[in-house]
Amino acid sequence: MRIKVIDLIKESQTLFSAHAMSYCYKMMNLCLTSDPAAMLSFKVNCEGKLYNLDDIATVALPDDKHYLIYPTIKDFAPYIIKAMIKPHPEFKSEILEEDEKIHSVS
């Protein structure tokens, strides 16, 4: 009987730790300040091909409330904004043409 109880405790610890990690990841995506982990939650669909953001752009964090996204190809900017708005509708974005970058406010 004691072995069954120990096995149940170990199983529940494993399950709880998986739930805790999932919860931590979801909390990282809740943007109160600029956190690079928030950029991991989406893929960019450019003309039918999926890209990770870091493959097609450089992301900078100038302060605690902003992201600066520099697309490697200027035409990718609208695709990046579209992909970013799905998981983070709270973001406001604008394209700054002179610097060819996307300015996103969390």
pLDDT by 10s per residue, the chain, length 106: 788 888 888 888 888 888 888 887 766 666 666 777 677 778 898 888 999 888 888 888 888 878 888 888 888 888 988 888 887 777 777 777 655 556 555 4
pLDDT of residue 103: 58
Give the closest residue to 87 by CA, choosing from 68, 101, 106: 106
| Residues 52 and 61 sit within 8 Å (Cβ to Cβ) | no
The per-residue pLDDT for 32 is: 64
37-73 as b/e, with b when 16 or more CB fall inside 10 Å? ebbebbebebeeeebebeebbebeeeeeeebbbebee
Q: Are 39 and 53 in contact (CB under 8 A)?
A: yes
Strand 92-96 and strand 101-105: the pairing is antiparallel
* pLDDT at site 33: 67
In degrees, rounded to 5, the angle at the alpha carbon of residue 48 between the alpha carbons of residues 47 and 54 is 80
